A and B are shown apart, each in its own frame.
Chain A
Amino acid sequence: MTTPVIYMDNNATTRVAPEVLEAMLPFFSERYGNPSSMHSFGGAVGREMREARESLAYLLGCGTDEIVFTSCGTEADNTAIRSALAAQPEKRHIVTTRVEHPAILSLCKFLERSQGYRVTYLGVDSEGRLNMKELEDSLTDDTAIVSIMWANNETGVIFPIPEIAKLARSRGIIMHTDAVQAVGKIPISLKDLDVDMLALSGHKLHAPKGIGALYVRRKLPYRPFLIGGHQEHGRRAGTENTTGIIALGAAARAAKAHIPVENTTVRGLRDKLENALLAAVPDSRLNGHKADRLPNTSNISFKYVEGEAILLLLDQLGIAASSGSACTSGSLEPSHVLRAMGVPFTYAHGSIRFSLSRYTTEADVDFVIKNVPGIIETLRKISPYKQGAPDPLSPLDTKPACGC
């Protein structure tokens, strides 16, 4: 596999920023001390870790004592939900959405099936937005936690977390948000919000894989997931991933500095790409609300063609993107997010997600704009379904598979 020349899959993972790599490298080699040790060799690493914690707290607008480093976003999400449930054993209800990442969705399904919890999965409208009234109606005295993602990984649609957190707080319910896609892309100030817990992942913001963090609001009842040593003040046992933590600190500093760029330059490139493709390719559509969206994400569906085939032809040109098509995942159904939005099957199988970063150039965008229309045309020539022809609707097309 050759190195992709044009990387438009930043919601999957990002390149490690050069300044991040530089900051972390010494901790792989000469600075290998354990921060818990009673000698200055280890203690010096502990001091660097404190700085990293400060940088991350600054990015999130919270206190350093409110950050627990984890191994990844999934661990942070699991810790948050399990902690809320363990701290309130009498409460047996969870509220989440149908469009969450598997880190939340699979966990909720597990808790539902094998632990007897009741879970409400909130739906979204055709543009991927939540219905606040439906959320409000779902909350009961039995609700232990509301877990709602800040921004959707597939469509980039942003949920109104400040209002959701306020609502949950007014009902005395713990509110967690999976903010893996939002952190570093949009401004976040937790001290001004009623959010109780927030999960993030390093590799989505130009730190390496293997490091994440959970924000836990001060004084929130908390039960650790990993039990063992005293690390992270007993909130997450296990020797710290010092290298990863230093890297996440550096990435947080860079992200704080670049948030304006994300919302001007990156947004501008994304809009250019999106508008050009929607204009150049007939029978294409945008998935997700146009305005309430991350500045870097564009999810476009091309009717009559299948996503995996598009991706492989893009790959031939060195363009890396992703798809919500069934075939790319090995599952047989298209993305649960697009299905929750009611995207018709004629479009859902042909969805492509382009996700940019501050490293994306205008030349990258122009190259994609130049090549995508031809790829879609090639595949439409092979396809039995055609523009202008009546939709080839079999009875199966009119209902989502399984009625899920």
Chain B
Amino acid sequence: MWEYTDKVKEHFLNPKNVGEMKDATAVGEVGSIACGDALKLFLKIEDGVIQDASFQTFGCASAIASSSALTELVKGKSVDEALKISNKDIAAALGGLPKEKMHCSVMGQEALEAAIKTWRGEKVSSMEHSEGEIVCECFGVTDHQILEAVRENDLKTVEDVTYYTKAGGGCAKCHEKIGELIAQARGEAKPVPAPAPKRLTNIQRMRMIEEVLEKEIRPRLQLDGGDIELADIEGMLVSVSLRGRCTNCPSSQATVHGVVETILREKVDPEIQVREV
């Protein structure tokens, strides 16, 4: 048996804002009876503010509770504020959900997004997610949804993705693809091999050093109240002088070599040496 919080039980046994809203100005529909849960969210939006919300849900206790909590969360919020509500906020309003049931909170967020999109006149297909390509055919989940769920909730495994989006919960054929999407979203994807470096001319190298110093290194040092100035470039030897707080900073040497040299070597040429003047 699931361990539901008292808030989940309360929202399930006495759901708030149940039923169709005749004068709704926005309706969002997600899920289907085949998938085992579906939510139809009704909003009354006036002057950019959600005045009223109601829902109809087919699904388990946590799906009904998530829907009920969602309607309470959005009431009185501006459309822009409402769009910031994430599935985590819905789960938090319920005092948490079992991880296997997190997809119920995701469904709430998706219905809210869909409702606001229709209100704004953007095109939403009610049964299918219009964005991205279907990855999980069993539950009709797209790559966009999976990437978003991984980023929003810091998901690490295929199992996590299944709990949050249902993707991969059927025939398991898409597990490999989900694994790749997790890696992609977490920035762990194998980097595309860089093209063989071209030999830079002196002029090209000097321009690149200037550019990298200006755009990447200075802003970092400025964050710490310091600054850097380029003094000279002779071949691979780059002379710089530190300004501001960096001058008396005991770790300025480390700063120069640790940050400046590393970045220049990475971005321009691995043979670069940095000297402080």
Mark A residues whose CB is within 8 Å of B: 1, 304-309, 312-313, 316, 325-328, 330-334, 345-346, 349, 381-385, 392-397, 401-404
B33 within 8 A of A: yes
B36 near A394: Cβ-Cβ < 8 Å: no
**In the assembled complex, which residues on chain A have CB atoms less than 8 Å from the CB atom of B140?**
396
Cα A349 to Cα B32 with chains together (Å)? 11
A402 near B137: Cβ-Cβ < 8 Å: yes
B57 near A382: Cβ-Cβ < 8 Å: yes
Partner of A331, one of B32, B59, B169, B173: B169
**In the assembled complex, which residues on chain B have CB atoms less than 8 Å from the CB atom of A1?**
1
B60 near A332: Cβ-Cβ < 8 Å: no
B58 near A402: Cβ-Cβ < 8 Å: no
**In the assembled complex, which residues on chain A have CB atoms less than 8 Å from the CB atom of B57?**
382-384
Q: Which of B18, B35, B37, B60 has the most chain A CB atoms closer than 10 A to its own CB?
A: B60
Nearest chain A CB to B75's CB is how many angstroms away?
A: 18
Count A-B pairs with CB separation below 8 Å.
106
A396 near B34: Cβ-Cβ < 8 Å: yes
- Residues 15-70 (chain B) with a chain A CB within 8 angstroms: 15, 18-19, 29, 32-40, 56-61, 63-64
**In the assembled complex, which residues on chain A have CB atoms less than 8 Å from the CB atom of B173?**
402
13 example contacts (A-B, Cβ-Cβ < 8 A) are as follows: A306-B58, A309-B61, A327-B60, A328-B60, A331-B169, A349-B33, A382-B18, A393-B33, A394-B34, A395-B127, A397-B32, A403-B171, A404-B170
Minimal Cβ-Cβ distance residue in B for A404: B171
Cα A59 to Cα B39 with chains together (Å)? 52
- The 8 closest A-B CB pairs, nearest first, are A332-B169, A402-B171, A384-B56, A327-B60, A308-B60, A396-B34, A394-B127, A384-B40
**In the assembled complex, which residues on chain A have CB atoms less than 8 Å from the CB atom of B72?**
none
B145 within 8 A of A: no
A345 near B34: Cβ-Cβ < 8 Å: yes
**In the assembled complex, which residues on chain A have CB atoms less than 8 Å from the CB atom of B56?**
382-384
**In the assembled complex, which residues on chain A have CB atoms less than 8 Å from the CB atom of B33?**
304, 345-346, 349, 385, 392-394, 397
* Apart from A332-B36, A381-B19, A394-B34: 12 A-B pairs, beta carbons within 8 A: A305-B58, A316-B13, A327-B60, A331-B169, A332-B162, A333-B36, A349-B33, A349-B36, A349-B58, A382-B64, A384-B58, A404-B171
**In the assembled complex, which residues on chain B have CB atoms less than 8 Å from the CB atom of A304?**
33, 58
A309 near B64: Cβ-Cβ < 8 Å: yes
**In the assembled complex, which residues on chain B have CB atoms less than 8 Å from the CB atom of A331?**
169
